[in-house]
Amino acid sequence: MTDQQDPGIEVWIGLDVGKHDHHATLLSTTGDKLGDRAVKNREDDLAALLDTADGLGVPALVIDQPGSIGTLAVQAALRRGIAVAYVPGLVMRRAADLYPGESKTDKRDSLVLADHARLHATRLRWLRHGDEDLQTLQLLAGRDHDLAHDATRTSNRLRDLLLQAHPPLEAIIGPNLKHAAIRHLLTRYGTASQLRNAGRSRVLKVLQRDAPRIAQRLRDDIFHALDQQTITVPADHTIGRLIQDLARDLQALHERRETLEHELQGLLAAHPLGPILDSLPGIGTKTGVTILSEIGDPTRFQTAGHLAAYAGLAPVTRQSGSSIRGQTRSRRGNHRLKNALFLSAFASLKHPPSKAYYDKKRAEGKRHNAAVLCLARKRCDLIHKMLRTQTPYRYEPPTTT
C-alpha cells in the first residue's frame, strides 16, 4: 500500500464485502449515483461489475477489507489495471456517522465507502500487486500467532488442573512448562500419586532426556512439593488423564512452532529485506518476521513518523483550553507491530547505543517500560530508513586514544 494523489479517477466503486455476497455502489466525481447492485463473490460477477465501471470512465475500487473475503475482488481489479483503495474499518465507521440515518446495511456502507473515497481521494491508501514471498511470510506469521495463542490457552488449562489437584506441585511444574522435559514428564505421570509410584530414579531419567543440566534440581523440587500434600482430591484419576492429554497437546503445539520457526527463518533470510532487518541488534526470527509482515511495502510510509503512527508509537497530543495539555501514549495502531518493536528494543539493551539511549531516558525520570517505548520509537526511525534505502545497520564503536 502507498499514499498517493488522486490518479484521475472518474468512477468510484464502493464495495462492501461479505462471505458470499458483496454490494457495490458506483459514484461519479460529482457524487451522482451511476449504479447500485448486489455482487456475488465470484470471478464472473466481479468481472461484470468492473467491466461496467470501466465503461463509464476511469474506475477505482474502494474496499474496507482487502484480505480474506475481499481478496478475490482486489486481485480481479488489480489484474485489470484498476486502482484499488483501502479504507480502514475505524475510518469507515467514523465516516458513516456523518451520513443521515442509523441503519447498518450493505447498501449504505458501499455508498459511504464510495463517497468517502471521492471526497478524500488524496488521503487514501492504494494497494499494489502483492509480493508473493511477503504474503507467504504474512500467512505463516499469522499461523504462528494462532499456535502461540493455542499454546497459551492449553498451558493455562493444564495449570488450572494442576492447581485444582495439587497446589504445591503446580507451583513447581507450572512455571516450567516451557521445558520439554516437564511436558514429557506430565505425559507419563499426570497425578501426584503416579509421580510418587514412579520414584525418584524414574522421574530423574525422564527429566534427563531433555534437561540434563537441571534434571536433578527439578526432581528434588517436585518430590519436595509432593511431600507437602497428602490429601487426594475427588476425581483425581480423571484429572490426571486430562493433564496427560493436555501435556501431549502442548508438546505437539511447541513442536509445530519449532518447525514453523525454521521455515520462517529460511523465508526471512531469502527475502531481500530480511537480512537488512536481521542486521539490527535485538531483532530475531520471530520479531523480524512480524515487523516485515506487518510493515509490508516500506515505500507506503513516506516518513518515519507515518510508520511510528501506524505502529502506535507516536505520542498523542491532548489539549483543551488551559485545563488539558500534554502528550499521552497512543492506544491505536498496529498492536502486533508495536509489540514486536517493543520486544526488539528490550532485547537490544545490551547494544551500547541502545543502552545509552535507555539510560538517558531513565535519567530523565521515565520508568522502565516508558524508556523502552522511547527506544522503540527511535529504532522505528532507523528501521524506516534501513528498509527504504535497503541499507543494513552498521555500528562502529568509538575508538579510544
- pLDDT at position 129 is 65
Structural domain includes residue 397 = no
State pLDDT tens for residues 116-140: 999 988 778 787 766 678 888 888 9
User: Do both 233 and 287 map to the same domain?
Assistant: no
State pLDDT tens for residues 323-378: 555 556 666 778 889 999 999 999 999 999 999 999 999 999 999 999 999 999 99
Instruction: Find the CATH number of the domain harbouring 28.
Output: 3.30.420.10
| pLDDT over 50 (residue 5) | no
- Out of 129, 162, 193, pick the residue that ends a domain: 129
Q: Which range of residues forms the domain containing residue 31?
A: 2-129
- Residue count of the chain: 401
- pLDDT at position 326 is 52
Q: What mean pLDDT value characterizes the chain?
A: 89
16 strand-pairing partners? 23
| Strand, coil or helix: 130 | coil
Q: Is the Cβ–Cβ distance between 28 and 77 less than 8 Å?
A: no
Cα 54 to chain centroid distance, Å, stands at: 36
Cell of 398: 568509538
User: Do both 259 and 295 map to the same domain?
Assistant: no
- Give the HSE-up count for residue 301: Cα atoms under 13 Å, Cβ half-sphere: 23
- Of all helices (H) and strands (E), which one includes residue 217? helix 215-226
User: Do both 215 and 284 map to the same domain?
Assistant: no
Specify the pTM.
0.77
- pLDDT at position 379 is 95
- Out of 129, 160, 195, pick the residue that ends a domain: 129
Torsion angle defined by CA atoms of residues 241, 246, 252 and 253, in that order, rounded to the nearest 10 degrees: 180
| pLDDT over 80 (residue 203) | yes
Structural domain includes residue 269 = no
User: Do both 120 and 175 map to the same domain?
Assistant: no
Q: Is the Cβ–Cβ distance between 216 and 155 less than 8 Å?
A: no
Pairing of strands 316-320, 33-40: unpaired
Closest-CA residue to 348 (of 260, 283, 253, 401): 283
Cell of 329: 501514549
- Count structural domains, the chain: 3
In angstroms, the CA 323 to CA 243 distance is 56
User: Do both 260 and 165 map to the same domain?
Assistant: yes
